[in-house]
Structure 1
Amino acid sequence: MAAMRRALILLPLFLAACEVPDMLELERAAENTLRASVFLPPIKDGLRPRRHEAPAGALEEDEVAVTNGPTLVVTYGRQRKVMTMIQGQGEQRMWRSDDGTVVATDGARVVATAGTETNLSATRFDSPDPLDDVTALVERPAMARRVVDLSPAQRDPGRMRFGVSLECRMRAARVAEGLYVEERCGGGARFLNRYWADAETGAVWRSEQWVGMEDRPMTIEVVSPPAN
Structure 2
Amino acid sequence: MRRIVLPALLLLAACEMPDMAELERGAENALRASVFLPPRQDGIAPRRHDPPAGALEDEDAATTGGPTLLVSYGSQRKVMAMIQGNGEQRMWRSADGTVVATDGARVVATAGTATTLAATRFDSPDPLDDIPALAERPATARRVVDLAPATRDPNRMRFGVALECRMRAARVEEGLYVEERCGGGARFVNRYWADPGTGAVWRSEQWVGMDGRPMVIEVLSSPAN
Range into which the TM-score falls when normalised by the shorter chain: 0.7 to 0.9
Distance 1:5 1:207 in 2: 21
1:2–1:127 CA contact under 8 A, matched in 2: no
3-state SS of paired residue (1:111): strand
1:127–1:144 CA contact under 8 A, matched in 2: no
Do structure 1's residue 92 and structure 2's residue 89 form an aligned pair? yes
Q: 1:177 to 1:128 in 2, by over 3 A?
A: same
Q: 1:181 to 1:56 in 2, by over 3 A?
A: same
| Counterpart in the other structure of 2:183 | 186
Do structure 1's residue 38 and structure 2's residue 38 form an aligned pair? no
Q: 1:57 to 1:218 in 2, by over 3 A?
A: farther
| Counterpart in the other structure of 2:205 | 208
Distance 1:210 1:180 in 2: 17
1:5–1:129 CA contact under 8 A, matched in 2: no
Out of 56, 71, 90, the position equivalent to 1:74 is 71
Offset at residue 194 of structure 1 (A): 0.1
Out of 195, 202, 217, the position equivalent to 1:220 is 217
Number of equivalent positions: 188
| Counterpart in the other structure of 1:50 | none
Distance 1:218 1:129 in 2: 19
What's the TM-score once normalised by structure 2's chain length?
Answer: 0.78
| Counterpart in the other structure of 1:60 | 56
Out of 117, 120, 131, the position equivalent to 1:120 is 117
1:135-187 Cα shifts (integer Å, max 9, x gaps): 00001000110000000001000000000000000000001111000000000
Offset at residue 37 of structure 1 (A): 8.4
Offset at residue 127 of structure 1 (A): 1.8
Q: Aligned AA for 1:101?
A: T
Q: 1:213 to 1:189 in 2, by over 3 A?
A: same
Superposition pairs of residues 137-216 of structure 1, within 5 angstroms: 137-216=134-213
1:102–1:115 CA contact under 8 A, matched in 2: yes
1:118–1:153 CA contact under 8 A, matched in 2: yes
Structure 1 unaligned regions, length at least 5:
7-30, 41-54
2:26–2:122 CA contact under 8 A, matched in 1: yes
Return the index of the structure with the highest Cα Rg: 1
- Any runs of at least 4 consecutive aligned residues in structure 1 with deviations exceeding 4 A, and if so which? none
| Counterpart in the other structure of 1:102 | 99
1:39–1:175 CA contact under 8 A, matched in 2: no
2:2–2:26 CA contact under 8 A, matched in 1: no
Distance 2:154 2:144 in 1: 19
Offset at residue 192 of structure 1 (A): 0.1
1:74–1:221 CA contact under 8 A, matched in 2: yes
Offset at residue 56 of structure 1 (A): 2.7
Q: Percent identity?
A: 74
Structure 2 unaligned regions, length at least 5:
4-24, 28-40
3-state SS of paired residue (1:66): helix
If asked which structure has higher relative contact order (CA below 8 Å, sep 6+), I would say: 2
Distance 1:144 1:76 in 2: 25
Offset at residue 126 of structure 1 (A): 1.8
2:45–2:174 CA contact under 8 A, matched in 1: no
1:125–1:146 CA contact under 8 A, matched in 2: yes
1:182-227 Cα shifts (integer Å, max 9, x gaps): 0000000000000000001000000000000011100000000000
Q: Aligned AA for 1:38?
A: P
When the two chains are superposed, the root-mean-square deviation of aligned CA atoms in Å is 2.1
